[in-house]
Structures are given as C-alpha cells and as structure tokens.
Amino acid sequence: MRTIKKVLLVEDNPGDARLLREMLNEDGSLDVDLACVSFMSEAERHLATLTVDIILLDLGLPDAQGLAAIRRARIAAPDIPLVVLTGMDDEALAGQSLQEGAQDYLIKGQIDTRGLLRALRYAGERKRLERLKDEFVSTVSHELRTPLTSIAGSLGLLMGNAAGGLSKSAERLLEIAHTNSVRLVRLVNDILDVEKLESGHVVFDLRKIQVRPLVEQTVEAIRGYAEGHRVKVRLEAAVAMDDIRADTDRLSQVLTNLMSNAIKFSPPDGEVVIAIEKETEIDAVRITVRDHGPGIPVDFKSRIFERFAQADATNARRKGGTGLGLSIAKQIIDRLGGEIGFADAPGGGTVFHVELPIWNEMVDLAGDEQIRRVPTAPTTSLIGLAESTRDRLTLAPVGIDEEVI
C-alpha cells in the first residue's frame, strides 16, 4: 500500500484545518507533511509546482462550490487520490462525488483520527487499483486500434471493387463486416479519448472564438447525416453575440455529438433546432440543441453523463452508439470551464445546453498558460507513454461518431 507523506488540505475554515492537522499528528507512526490552502485557485497553483500523495478537499470553498470543486481538483491533479471532507450528510451528493472522481466522502463531525487515517490509506489504494484497471483497458484498446483500422480499411477497399467485381451475396457480407469493424474502431477510439481526458493527457488550446460561425460550420457539416435520417436541422436567428473562451476542435466535437444524438432520436421528417443565447447574469453564452424525440426516461436522467450509459439497451443497439459520447462531452465542457445539461422540451423531446464563459481578455490571458501546459505523463501509465505523441482527441467524421444515450 502506498505510503502517505504529503497531504494537501483545501479548507477555508481555520478551526476545521487545525482539527485535521491535530488528527494527522496524533498518530506518531505517520509522518505527514500537511500543506493547507483556503482557495481552490491556491490549490491549483500548489499542484502545478509540487507533488502530493493525497488531497483532502472541502466542498464549500469561497471560489469553488460542490461538485465544481471536485472537477477543478481532478483537472489540476488527475492522478492524485482525492478525499472529500464536508459537513453535508447527503447520500446523493456522496454518490455524485464518487462519480466525479473522489475516492471517499467524509462528513465533518463524524470522523475520528483512526477513521481519517484509514480513509486516506484506502483512498490511495483505490486510486492505484483504478489506475491499473484504466491502464489495462487503455493498453488493450491501443493494441486493438491498429489492426481494427487496417481491417476496416481493407474491407472498405473491397466494397469499392478494388479487387474486382463481387457477387451480391459477397457484397452484403462485406457490408456487414465493414459496418461492424467501423463500430469497433469507434469504440476503441472513444475508450482512448476517455482515458486521455481522465488522465490529464489532453492539451486544450483556449482562445477567443466567434460562436455563431463555429455553430454554423458544425450545422453545415452535419446536414448530410441529417438528410440520411430524413431530419431537418435549423439554426435560429440570433442577435450579435460576444466571443467565448474555448477550444475550437473540442467544442466542435461536443456540438457534433449533441446534434447527431438529436438527429438520431428524432422521428422521420422531424426537426432539430439549434439556438445561441447570451446569459447576461453569468457572463456566458448558451448553445441549445432541441429535438422532438421520445425524451429521456426519468430513471435514467441521473446517469446520462456516465460512461457506457444507455437509456434503453435495445433501442440504443438499433440506433447505434457506445454510450461514451455524452461522458466525453461533459469532460470536455468541464475542462473548458463551462456547464452542460439538459431539460425536457415543451411539447416533447429534449433540450441539451452548453454554457461557456464570455471572453474576458485580462482574466483569460492570465489563466491560459496553466491550462495550455502539457501534463507530464505518469511513469506507470503504459498508454500515456505509448500515446505521447497523440495529445489531441480525434474528431470522428460526422455519421460515424454516433454517440448516444
């Protein structure tokens, strides 16, 4: 089990910080160097320059509340075990915290020294086992990608009569084999994308972006896919819009995903409507994608952004998709400092939305350097070493990247 030497406590209450320090010092067998900061921004600066063995994180910080604090900590230190420490005895929040990447959830006033130390040790072990599992899945996926891509390409050439004419029955068999090989390639690429996002091996090129031209380009790129499903795509007129702070390729990937989902689950001759609005109160731009499909089942809404989550396995199989697209979209938007969500649409269907911060030149230029920095790959990460030159996600072609709920 990994030895704990350095702990970063992110806690703005001096009394709670002092009590935790006393607990850690109470056990003479554990020589812990405890660093304490009061703001998430201080924690991010600390993690950018110093190595720690574990993070103790309060969810009520002045500059980061609730799950947002966990997301920022995970972005700053994806490989460090994280233990949430909060006064909120909330099972739903505890479950969401674990889904966001925390290894444990401790309630203030209900822990003692032995419980705290045990939680720290177990969190480290859980993180180690989680890393081993992810490395295994990623390594297998990486080894599968090259031969699968080769198979899919060869089958595509055969379908194009590269080896001469084929009988109708042979063409049908090749079509089935090609479709399934492409689906496997998509699944492998998605797994690799998820691993790279969660391990921090993805570089985001944040810059000032004009929203409407980007959305227009995405809509035009997906029209062919929509026509194949007999669905119309309409971009509503909008007033002049402020620029946003984002990564062009990442945001385009998210919007493509949301639009393709909406198209796929829309009825024939239905319509998908995209709108752009300015959220003045929070200095953000809101992009919405509205479909007229069957909607999202109530019992599935809490799991919609989980990996491999699908609302109806039978229906999803008919529609295609791996159940990873929305999980990837959420991680991208979190890294962009935005928010992604959904709601039932009036009259039926679903409205997905993405909110991204408006470009603020003074603030954004000051903060971009840390986010642009290429993370150092952990020495234990096999896929991190194997993929060291592939530091940007691959944007799959529209019509193939069919990630759905």
Q: For the whole prediction, is pTM greater than 0.75?
A: no
Tell me which of 174, 199, 224 is where a domain ends.
199
Kindly state whether residues 281 and 228 are assigned to the same domain.
yes
How far is residue 214 from each of residues 49, 217, 257, 276, measured CA to CA in Å? 35, 5, 14, 11
Reduced to 3 states, what is the DSSP secondary structure of residue 80?
Answer: coil
Task: Please tell me the predicted confidence (pLDDT) of residue 74.
Answer: 86
Reduced to 3 states, what is the DSSP secondary structure of residue 304?
Answer: coil
Task: Please tell me the predicted confidence (pLDDT) of residue 342.
Answer: 93
Q: Where are the alpha helices (DSSP H) in 35-112?
A: 40-49, 67-76, 91-99
Terminal-to-terminal C-alpha distance of the chain = 38
Task: Please tell me the predicted confidence (pLDDT) of residue 78.
Answer: 86
How many Cβ atoms sit within 10 Å of the Cβ of residue 196?
22
Contact 359, 337 (CB under 8 A): no
Task: Please tell me the predicted confidence (pLDDT) of residue 320.
Answer: 56
Kindly state whether residues 278 and 326 are assigned to the same domain.
yes
Which residues of the chain fall short of a pLDDT of 70? 1-2, 27-30, 163, 198-201, 239-240, 308-322, 361-405
Task: Please tell me the predicted confidence (pLDDT) of residue 42.
Answer: 94
Taking phi over 0 as left and psi of -120 to 50 as alpha, with beta for the rest, 285 belongs to beta
**Which domain does 57 fall in, by range?**
6-128
DSSP-derived secondary structure letter, 180: H
Task: Please tell me the predicted confidence (pLDDT) of residue 30.
Answer: 63
Kindly state whether residues 72 and 146 are assigned to the same domain.
no
Kindly state whether residues 170 and 221 are assigned to the same domain.
no
Contact 211, 285 (CB under 8 A): yes
Kindly state whether residues 119 and 135 are assigned to the same domain.
no
Kindly state whether residues 169 and 49 are assigned to the same domain.
no
How many Cβ atoms sit within 10 Å of the Cβ of residue 59?
22
Helix (H) or strand (E) holding 208: strand 207-209
The total domain count for the chain is 3
